[in-house]
Structures are given as structure tokens and as C-alpha cells.
Amino acid sequence: MHRAIATLLLVFAPFPAAAQGVVRGTVRDKDGAPISGASIAIPGTTLSTRTDLQGLFRIVLVPAGLVRVHAAALAYGPIDTAVALTGGDSTTVDFTLSAAPLALPPVDVVSDRVPHFGDRPATSVAQVTERDLDRRAVNTVEEAIDHVAGLQMVNGQTNVRGSTGYVQGLNSRVLMTVDGVPMNQGDRGGINWDLLAVDEIESLEILKGAGSSVYGSAAFGGVINVTTRDVPAGLHTRLRVNGGVYGDPPHPIWRFRDNPGLLGGADFSASYGNDVAGGRISVGDRHSDGYRQQDQDDHLHFAGRARWEHANTRVDVSGAWAVDHYDVPLSWCSRGKCDDKGQIFQPFMVDTTERGARTDSRKGYLAARVRTTVSPQFAWTARASWLRTHFADVRRSATEFGVGDRFGAAGQIEAHPESTRTVIVGAEATYSDVTSDIFGTHSQSEFAAYGQSEQRMGAVRVSGGARLDFLAVDGGSLTAVVSPRIGATLNGEEEGGGTWRASIGRGFRSPTMAERFVHTTALGFDVVPNPTLRPETAWSFEIGHTSAPLLRFMRLDAALFWTEARDLIEPQVLRIPPDTVKIQLQNVVRARIAGLDASVIAAPIPDRLIATLGYTYLDTRRRLAGDSTEGPLAFRPRHLLTLGADYRMGDLGVGADFRFASRPERIELEGFVDPRRVPVKVLDLRAAWKNGPVELRVLAANVLNYMYNLVPETLAPVRTVTLTVVWSH
Amino acid sequence: MVAAGVGTACDGGLQPEPICARTLVGLCGTVRFRGAVPANTENVFIATYLTFPQTCTDLINNRRPIIPGSVPFTDSIAAYSVALSPGAYHWVLAVWKKPGTLTLTPADTQYLRVAGYYRSPTDATKPGIVTVPGGAAAGDIDFVVNFDSLRPATDFVTCTAQ
């Protein structure tokens, strides 16, 4: 007890000013070019930062003496160095990193909630960096993450290792955070992928497996954390213009218009910053004719970010607002419902009864974050956020609308009582409300407290913690959910054995207000509310290995995962005697999701050729309550495969990506919808050229114009060729 | 990788499917329309039954497919196809529908009428039996729809609700 009190006093005690200094410097590659986004950390402390566009960094409050400084960046070998620092002084450290495509990338953002020592956590993490985003020339965040091993986007719904499936956008079993702020909709729980312009994004990190022990509800199957670009020092502007064309239907009998569909857009951002403060504003506009009949989309967005730094405190404020007007091709045309030219179905056209369907959508967020580094052993963070979504679905039969808010506040303390131990504790409160003619008027409150700790013992790191969530709907009684998690990693890199990781944790997802209270019509049947829905829960286990470099040019990462879920929410057809049929979301399923997730990166020609392979095998089982028969979960392909290759010659780079997903064995409501579905086989080709401030990128997505659908009666994107020009100053 | 992509993606994917496609497992044919199309016509669709329904409940529960595809009725003739499991189907009929929400219950019959059915080649007063072979389609299942003679379900089965 006395030792604990002494430790607490030591942690909270302000560090003596005379014993502190500043470490500043640059991170560059061997040619002297600055490396932006590199991680700089003082291991064993709360002190860390990232380099700006000029490769500059600055860390204050560094304890005087011989200080170990760690620098790491994606595709470069990390460096540790020791510098002598005198109290009240500053020391300059310039790092030169060597290209090392097989080097394990640093994991930064996940550490916002997960204690670590600059090493990778005990669960699997995939990363999409700024370089990946540029290389792929993608135009949306969805496109950016759709190539990640083990991840599949199903009509806007995110599946990490088969977590979500597809339920018409009424939920998500994956949580999205933007700079640490949860961004799932307050009413439907889904993710607004069009809220953020891809140009605002610096990187994405995908935490696979149950993350509820630190992130709470919605992190049932994983977490996608988006890091937006910081405001660098100096004046910077960036203009990005793109235009493209959709491919025609591959079969003349499916032609539905005389001219090809076009798409295009522009984004502009300007920022100014210095050591104390900075700000950025950006605006963008986009139009698409769509690749199908009734598929036009207009998008407009504004975003802003500001930072203020003083001594040991940093304040960040960010926000965005997006307006979308888009046509809704509800389902493709079946026999007799359009000019089908004698075909059983026409995937490029819609039923005439659904002509004119469109959605007007507005959404925005405002977030503020304060972080104070009290001492090298202690830091606290507070944040507040507001997410608002508004939609109006205009249909021939009716117009539906919904307005949802999600208010959040959180506080977190990070402590390093010893150089080998990290502790994070925090509390969160979230209030969501919805006003809608199909969801009603409701509110949901969530309160949570969590704690995580990690202890290093030689090459082994052990972490553990738990989160306690209380949920209340419409001010009713509280439901409590406990989500514990433990994990361990063994770092055998120095002995040439790679690293091992294992974790087990509990995940949960609270039903969204849309799931509880939706009252609408689908497939001609009434969809009725179910206010008694219970939270879904799951235990997830994972064991993984990252190999040391094999044959000096490749590295393998593989993980076995196993999730046992209860009370999964799925739509059910109710036959209510004597003469009524309805659809209702129910807790009816016990489910198992198990499989293998493997990825390989190879650099057979260093600095020129990099190839990647990702493969996920999914074995899913579901069992209805009171039924001994088992079957696969809907919308979960058994095999997912991604292949990628990039070749660079000076200023020019070319690349290719191939995605395969096997045909899902089961879909929801089979017998009521067109059951046609085929495997996914999509090949993308791309090229990029950079000279000074100008970059040109060409992307030919689905270059073979392969026709497929991910959900019933909805054609997936056809061949799309886009040219993007980026000018940075 | 490009070669692998081309090699795999050139095979498969969604393809046009004409009526009576070679890949169809089920039945197909034509429907000839006679009479005046009622103003309140919402749909005409093709339904099948493995055994002739005896009750209104059979009429709803034993229908294949559960949600039938519609047939364009604005011309004098229309081709149709129905994907079905192999078997001998004892009633293949065209169903006329007026506006109203179906509930997959006997109450649906208030919106539905029998518009015509495939008849036995040997005895035109009786329904014809159509055998769907394994892995193929039964073709030339042609019959007439007469909009001037739409008959309620009670002419064929016992119903407590109409």
C-alpha cells in the first residue's frame, strides 16, 4: 500500500524543470529527402511525436541525462540512438533512415488506447499509410481499405474477418474513430465513409478482432482508426483534381445509355502553422454520373483543423461537414420490371417502380482534444465530440427522414510508473438521440470506465485490462457489460525468431436505435421494431506470428482467430397466425467465426519491386435458438485473397492489385430476393509519376470489367478509369 | 499477377440470361394474352406447385418460388422462365394481381386471381404436369391468359378467407 502511494505521488509530481530539456531534429532518407510522419519516441515514457512535411520534430519535457531516442517510419529500418541532454537546454538529433521494405511499421495511433512501448500490440494490426493512399490513387476511404488483408467492404458495411455481414446499413460491428474520436452514427451505428475526404487522411490503422475492452460497443469485430493530416509549420497549399470515365456494360444487351458515365472532382486545402499554432481549411466537390441507371451522386464537403501548443499542452480542434445528394438504385431490374430486352434480369437498370428514388444526406462532426504531458511518466488527455447525421430518403411510395446526434466526452490518463510498465485508465460518456419517422424519437446513454496495463519482462510483454459499460435506452434501466482482455507478445527478433502474439478478449455491441425501433417496409413486408433486443457479445481469441525476414527478401505474418458469439442480431421472417407476415431484427443466433489470416510482403528487388499477398480463410457457423441445425453466416465468403505488386523506376511507378472473394454460401432472406451471386475477381492497374510539386496518377479499377454483386440485386462497380493530378506547395 | 487476374476473371461473373437460358434449371415458355387488361392490374406472375393445392393455405405455403417473378403483359405475348428444383409440377399457372400488400397468408387471395394455366396436352380440361429434369429446363410450356376470365382461388381450392 505504501509503495502504491509512493508510486502515485511520484507519478503526479511535476518533473523538476531544471532536469528537463528539448530534443529536436530531422528525419531524412539516405538521399536527404525529408520523411514525414515518422515516429519519434523516448521509450518508456509518455513522450513521442511525429515528423511534419519537412521531416522536423520536437519533443519537450525530456528528462536530462543520457536519453534514448527511437525513430521509425514505414518502409525504413528503425534507429535507436542515445543523446546527452542538459537540463534547460535543447539538443538536435538528425536521423538518416535506410530503406527497408520488410521493416515492421511503427504502430502509433492504436497506442492512443493500448499501452505499448513503441512495439506492435498483442492483436493483429493492418496499416494503410499515406504512401498507400497515394499509390493506389483512390478517391474514397472505402476504396483505400478494401485491399487490406482480412477486410471486405460489403456495400458500405465493413467486415473485419467476417464480423459484420450485411444488414442494409442498420449496424456495424466495426468501430471507426477519427483521431481517436468514435465516429459511428448515433442512430444507425453505421460509418459515414463520405464524411472525410481521402485527401485529409494521413493513415489508417485497422485493429482486427474484438476491441471492446478499450473501445466499447461497436468494436465487436475490430476498429478502424483514421489519422488525419497534422498542420505542418509554414504555408502549404494542396490542390487535387481528378476525372474519369465508367466502362460500358460488357454485353451490348445490357447497354442502357448512349454515352459513357463520367466522374470528377476537386479538393483544395490551405494551411499555415508555426511552433505555437496552426490551422487548415479544405473544401472539395465531386460529381459522378454513376455506372448504372439512376446512380448519380453529388458531394460537397468542408473541413477544418487547428492546433495550439504551449509548453507541455497541445489542443486540437477539428471538424467537417459534408452534403450528399445521390440517386438510389434500390435493386436491379428483374424480368418484366423494365425494358429487359428478353433477359431474366438487367443489372444496370432499376425497376420502373423504383424510379426517382434518391437520398439527401448531410453530416458533420466537431471534435476537440487536449493533451497535457505533465511529466515523462504522466500525461492526460481529454476530448469532446459531436457527430450529427441527417438523411431524407425520397421514394415513390413515401419519404423517410432521420436526424441523429452523438455527443461524446472522454478523459484518459497515461502513466509510466516504471520504464517497463505502462498504465492507461479512462472514462467515457456518450449520448445519442434520433428523431425519425421510421426510427421514432429515442435516446441512448452510455457510460464507461476502462483500464489497461502492460508490463515488459525481457523479451515478453504482457498486457491486460477491462472495460465496464453501462447502457440505458430512453432513460430506462442500465444494462452493464464487462469486457476484459489479456494479451502477450514474445519478441524474438534479436534471435532471428520473429515475434509471437496471443490475446483473448470479450467484445460486445449494443443494438443501435435503428435496430431497436425501425418501422418501415422492405420487400413488400412490414419491418417491425423490437425494443427488447439485447447486446451481442463474443469471446475472441487470436494467436499470431510475424516471421523474421525469410530468404532476406520476404516476411510472413499469420494469425489464427476464433470468435464465439452470442445473441447476434439478424433479420427474421415472422409468420404471425392467423394471417400476418413481418420482418423483425432478433437476437436469434449463436455463431462461430474462425479462420486464418495470413499476409506476405516481399521485396525481391530492393527499392524497386515490392509484392504483397493477403489471404483469409473464414469458417462460420450459426445456429438458431431452439434449432440443432447449423449453417454458415450470411455474406461471409470462405476465401478472401488480395495480391499486390509495385515497381518503381525513378519518378515513375506502376502497380497492380487483384482481389478475390469466394461466392458467399448464404445470404439473408433467401427466397425473397434474387439469389444470384458470384465470386469477386477484380484487377486494378495503376501508374504514378511525380516531379517536383506535381503528381500524376492513373487508376484503372476493375480493368477487366468483371460483373459481380456483393449483396442481392446490386451490381458492384464496373471498370472505372480515373486520372488524378495533385499539386502541392 | 495480371495473368492470374485475367485468367480467373475472364471466366464467370454475372452474364446475360435470356429466357430459356441453357443454364436454366426450371421451366420456360410463352404466355399469350387475351381480353382487355383490367385497369387495376398491378402484375402478372407465374407460379408453380409440386402437388395441386387443396386449401388456401397450400396455395400460399406451397407456391414455388415464394416470391414469383412478374411477366410483362402489355404485349400480346410474353416469354417467361422460372427457376425451380427438379421434380414433377402438377400446376403451372399465371396469377393476376391487383394493388395490395401481400402477406404470404391466405388473405393474399383477395388481391389474386387465376388468369390461366398450362393444360394437359391430352385433356385440356385438366392442368398439365411438367417435369423439370435435373440440371436442365423444361421448355415450351406455353399457355393462355384470359383477362376476361380471371377466376378467384375458391374456384380451385377451399378457402376461408378471400
Give A168-217 pLDDT, tens digit per residue. 767 889 999 998 888 888 888 888 888 888 888 888 888 888 777 888 88
The answer on pLDDT for A638 being more than 90 is: yes
Q: Per the domain annotation, does A200 fall within a domain?
A: yes
Q: Per the domain annotation, does B160 fall within a domain?
A: no
Same domain assignment for residues A268 and A208? yes
For residue A709, the domain's CATH number is: 2.40.170.20
Nearest Cα residue to B82 out of B49, B40, B126: B49
Q: Per the domain annotation, does A110 fall within a domain?
A: no
Residue of A336, A347, A525 with shortest CB distance to B14: A347
For residue A41, the domain's CATH number is: 2.60.40.1120
DSSP string, A116-181: -SSS--SS-EEEE-HHHHHHHT-SSHHHHHTTSTTEEEETTEEEESS-S---TTS--SEEEEETTE
Same domain assignment for residues A148 and A49? no
Report the residue of chain B nearest A675, measured CA to CA. Answer: B83
Nearest Cα residue to A394 out of A362, A360, A363: A360
To the nearest whole angstrom, how far is the Cα of B14 from the nearest Cα of chain A? 5
Q: Per the domain annotation, does A117 fall within a domain?
A: no
Q: Per the domain annotation, does B85 fall within a domain?
A: yes
Is there a contact between B9 and A254 if contact means CB atoms under 8 Å apart? no
pLDDT value of residue A466: 94
Confidence of residue A219 (pLDDT cuts 50, 70, 90): confident
Average pLDDT over residues A712-725: 94
Q: Per the domain annotation, does B11 fall within a domain?
A: no
Same domain assignment for residues A425 and A522? yes
Chain B contact present for A256, CB below 8 A? no
DSSP-derived secondary structure letter, A4: H
The answer on pLDDT for A685 being more than 50 is: yes
To the nearest whole angstrom, how far is the Cα of A339 from the nearest Cα of chain B? 10
Same domain assignment for residues A397 and A490? yes
CB pairs < 8 Å spanning A and B: 103
pLDDT value of residue B10: 65
Q: Per the domain annotation, does B13 fall within a domain?
A: no
> A354-363 pLDDT, tens per residue?
888 999 999 9
* Strand ranges, E, within A115-156: 125-128, 151-154
Q: Per the domain annotation, does B39 fall within a domain?
A: yes
Pairwise CA distance, residues A141 & A655, whole Å:
19
What domain count does chain B have?
A: 1
Confidence of residue A118 (pLDDT cuts 50, 70, 90): low
Which residues of B fall within a CB distance of 8 Å from A253?
Answer: 16
> A222-272 pLDDT, tens per residue?
899 888 888 988 999 999 999 999 999 999 999 999 999 999 999 999 999
- Pairing assessment for the beta strands A125-128 and A90-97 based on DSSP bridges: unpaired
Q: Which of A108-117, A294-303, B44-53 has the lowest mean pLDDT?
A: A108-117
Q: Per the domain annotation, does B2 fall within a domain?
A: no
Q: Is A387 exposed, middle or buried (0-12, 13-18, 19+ CB in 10 A)?
A: buried
pLDDT value of residue A41: 87
Same domain assignment for residues A94 and A155? no
Q: Per the domain annotation, does A107 fall within a domain?
A: no
pLDDT value of residue A126: 87
Which residues of A fall within a CB distance of 8 Å from B81?
Answer: 335, 344
Interior angle at CA A386, CA A323 and CA A512, nearest 5: 85
Average pLDDT over residues A666-679: 81
pTM across the whole model: 0.82
Q: Per the domain annotation, does A17 fall within a domain?
A: yes
Q: Per the domain annotation, does B104 fall within a domain?
A: yes
Same domain assignment for residues A140 and A199? yes
Q: Residue B78 is placed in which grid cell?
A: 410474353
The answer on pLDDT for A115 being more than 90 is: no
Contact at 8 Å (CB) between A528 and A553?
no
Same domain assignment for residues A628 and A518? yes
Contact at 8 Å (CB) between A464 and A476?
no
Domain, as residue range, for A141 = 127-728
Q: Per the domain annotation, does B10 fall within a domain?
A: no
> From residue A205, how far is each of A107, A129, A232, B152 by CA, in Å?
8, 8, 21, 62
List alpha helices for B1-147, DSSP H. 2-9, 56-61
Pairwise CA distance, residues A106 & A683, whole Å:
29
Interior angle at CA A585, CA A579 and CA A589, nearest 5: 110
Same domain assignment for residues A85 and A149? no
To the nearest whole angstrom, how far is the Cα of B122 from the nearest Cα of chain A? 31
Q: Per the domain annotation, does A115 fall within a domain?
A: no
- Pairing assessment for the beta strands A222-228 and A174-178 based on DSSP bridges: parallel
Show which of A82, A100, A118 is a domain's final residue.
A100
DSSP H/E element including A361? strand A358-375
Which residue of A147, A255, A344 is the best one to mutate when testing the B interface, meaning the one whose CB has the most B CBs within 10 A?
A344
Show which of A36, A65, A100 is a domain's final residue.
A100
Domain, as residue range, for B136 = 21-155
Same domain assignment for residues A597 and A670? yes
Q: Which of A339-343, A606-610, B121-125 has the lowest mean pLDDT?
A: A339-343
Q: Which of residues 504-523 of A touch B (CB under 8 A)?
A: 521, 523
pLDDT value of residue B160: 65
Q: Residue A519 is placed in which grid cell?
A: 418501422
Residue of A343, A581, A644 with shortest CB distance to B16: A343
Same domain assignment for residues A95 and A134? no
Q: Per the domain annotation, does A668 fall within a domain?
A: yes
Pairwise CA distance, residues A371 & A413, whole Å:
10
What domain count does chain A have?
A: 2
pLDDT value of residue A338: 84
Q: Which amino acid is at A272?
A: Y
